[in-house]
Amino acid sequence: MVSRQLLNAIVQKIYSFPEFHGCIIGLYGDNGCSVLEAGYTPSVNYGRVAVIIEEVVTDDPSTAANTQMWADTPGSSPAGSPNPIVVTNRSVWGREAVGAGLSCGMTIVSAVGVLGGVAAEVPSAGTSTFLVIVAWTGMITSGIQCINGLVRVGAIIANPDDNTLQRWDGNKIYSTTILIVDALGMVAAIAALPTGIENLWAIIVRQRAFALRGLTEATLRNMNAAERAKVIRELIEAASKTPEGRAAIMAAAREADIAASTLARPSSLSVRNAT
Amino acid sequence: MVEIISEETARRLHSALRDIVSVPVQAVVSGLPYELVGSANGSVNWIIHLVDTGSGS
């Protein structure tokens, strides 16, 4: 318990600062709250500034030493002491809105890739599983960052003059978690990059091969049945590598009135149906 | 059929390009400072600071 004499000395010390002179001073200690000084009504600080003195007991030697150092320094902060700056939510509104927009934009791009089923051209079963895991990891981590960005923007809107985000960022668990989530997303993206490049190259090469063949209705018509069957089989195989491609083939087959089983025997397809 | 192949190729080309381009974009955003992109910055920026601090000391 702090003695009344010491409390009076603290009040006098507080009032010696012009910013606090005449303000109301409260005390939180000795198992209760009380008004230590009611303040001076003529003072400009009365009703504008309030000081709360909190009595705390600490067993931590470093905190005690730190407090003692502050107490021993007359009238000013100890040399080298940090100057705490309060960053209000309002002041970071712009960058947080940009951040949330970017995170959510990347989530949409990831989701389009994953949910569209275009992870790859399914090179092999093992690689495919790997790519699916990587793609989902990217989408989930991106989604977490998007939600995080939206929650932060929500916190700004809810309390623009508070320093919620500064306090969140100061929380080691929160900041480390978000950092790990971002790192996981980056690892997933980089892991998928070689396959992505390979995939792009395969598409370009195949497209060039088809372009070089100059496939038109006339060229197909000029081929014999065996050649035409080979070309059509290759075309069907190429287009059927993704679910969307298969669906397009089936739709086209239905439109052209070709039975699905016929697609497995391209030699029976006519030029009319093929084009 | 040729038309389907063309459409499929264009769609796959578009998807493959998007998948590839999104990686450097993601890396750049992650590497930008907090002052520019807020919470969207991340691990790359952390590594940059780590390397920067390491070279400075």
B30, amino acid identity: S
CB A172 within 8 A of CB A213: no
ipTM, two decimals, is: 0.83
Mapping DSSP to helix (H, G, I), strand (E, B) and coil, where does residue A54 land? Answer: strand
* Shared-domain flag, residues A102 and A34: no
Residue B26 pLDDT greater than 80, yes or no: yes
* Shared-domain flag, residues A113 and A161: yes
A231 touches chain B (CB under 8 A): no
Domain that holds residue A42: 4-72
A84 within a domain of the structure (yes/no): no
CB A51 within 8 A of CB A24: yes
pLDDT in tens, A38-95: 888 777 788 888 999 988 777 778 778 877 887 787 767 777 776 667 888 999 999 9
* Shared-domain flag, residues A160 and A233: no
> Which has more confidence, B22 or A248?
B22
Q: Residue A208: what pLDDT? A: 73
Chain A hits for B19, Cβ within 8 Å: 113, 118, 192, 196, 199
Say whether B42 and A186 touch across the interface (CB within 8 A): yes
Could you give the angle at the alpha carbon of B48 between the alpha carbons of A88 and A139, nearest 5°?
A: 75
A127 within a domain of the structure (yes/no): yes
A176 touches chain B (CB under 8 A): no
* Shared-domain flag, residues A222 and A254: yes
Tokens for A197? Answer: 């490049």
Q: Which of A199, A232, A259 is the last residue of a domain?
A: A199
Per-residue pLDDT of chain A (275 residues; tens, 9 = 90+): 788 888 889 899 888 888 888 899 999 887 788 898 888 877 778 888 899 998 877 777 877 887 788 778 776 777 777 666 788 899 999 999 999 999 999 999 888 888 766 544 544 445 567 778 888 898 999 999 999 999 999 999 999 988 889 889 988 999 999 999 999 999 999 988 888 888 888 878 777 766 666 666 677 777 777 877 777 777 777 666 666 666 666 776 676 665 555 555 544 444 444 44
A83 within a domain of the structure (yes/no): no
* Shared-domain flag, residues A195 and A222: no
Q: Which of A146, A172, A199 is the last residue of a domain?
A: A199
Chain A interface, mutation test: which of B3, B12, B23, most A Cβ atoms within 10 Å? Answer: B12
Say whether B39 and A178 touch across the interface (CB within 8 A): yes
Q: Residue A89: what pLDDT? A: 92
Say whether B2 and A275 touch across the interface (CB within 8 A): yes
d(CA A235, CA A223): 15
User: What residues of chain A, 2 to 61, have a C-beta less than 8 Å from chain B?
Assistant: none
* Shared-domain flag, residues A104 and A44: no
A151, amino acid identity: V
CB A59 within 8 A of CB A81: no
Name the CA radius of gyration of chain A, rounded.
36
Give the count of domains, chain A.
Answer: 3
Which helix (H) or strand (E) is A29 found in, with range? Answer: strand A24-29
* Shared-domain flag, residues A195 and A122: yes
Say whether B17 and A200 touch across the interface (CB within 8 A): yes
* Shared-domain flag, residues A123 and A194: yes
Q: Which of A148, A170, A199 is the last residue of a domain?
A: A199
Q: Any residues with CB less than 8 A from the CB of A133 and at least 6 apart, and which?
A: none
User: What residues of chain B, 1 to 57, have a C-beta less than 8 Å from chain A?
Assistant: 1-5, 7-9, 11-13, 15-20, 22-23, 25-27, 29-30, 34-44, 46
* Shared-domain flag, residues A224 and A258: yes
Q: Residue A184: what pLDDT? A: 94
* Shared-domain flag, residues A110 and A175: yes
* Shared-domain flag, residues A192 and A219: no
DSSP A37: E
Say whether B37 and A99 touch across the interface (CB within 8 A): yes
Say whether A186 and B26 touch across the interface (CB within 8 A): yes
Closest Cβ opposite residue A248 in set B2, B4, B19: B4
Chain A hits for B17, Cβ within 8 Å: 200
Task: Please list, residue by residue across A17-39, b when 16 or more beta carbons sit within 10 angstroms of its beta carbon and e when fewer do.
Answer: eeebbbbbbebebeeeeeebbeb
* Shared-domain flag, residues A93 and A64: no
Say whether A145 and B36 touch across the interface (CB within 8 A): no
A207 within a domain of the structure (yes/no): no
A205 within a domain of the structure (yes/no): no
Q: Residue B56: what pLDDT? A: 44
